[in-house]
Amino acid sequence: MSHDANCIFCKIIDGKIPSMKLFETDKSYAFLDIGPCSQGHSLVIPKYHAAKMHELPDDYLQDILPIAKKLAIATGAAEYNILQNNGRMAHQVVDHVHFHVIPKPSTEKGLVVGWPSTQPPKEELQAIYEKLQQNMPK
């Protein structure tokens, strides 16, 4: 298992920094966010240190979403967001993969997202489609 002695999330997993643990498996750890967007905002992190999701082994990823589902149910929220960021421009602050479970009780509380949709021409979409197919890992 990969750990980084300087990582705040690795320290939480190791019990060196206290947290309000909500759920734990041999591969994942879930806890209440101390800087929440809304009541019940929590995090699910793998017990494997990887900065970005594509660096995380698949078996750790497979463990995370069922836990996120449990957390979403536990909040009782009818609406919620599951958020996972990779890199500074994508709003990642802690360099350890983490999934946010954020209840959305109102338009003002919870995650606020802009969605800058575009309408590229069909030819451009076709070129992007072909590039993605060629680059898809087997």
Classify 110 in phi/psi space as left (phi over 0), alpha (psi -120 to 50) or beta: left
Q: Which residues form the catalytic set?
A: 98
Tokens of 94: 């802690």
Dihedrals phi, psi of 87, to nearest 5 degrees: 100, 155
Please tell me the distance from the alpha carbon of residue 86 to that of residue 71, in angstroms, as a whole number: 22
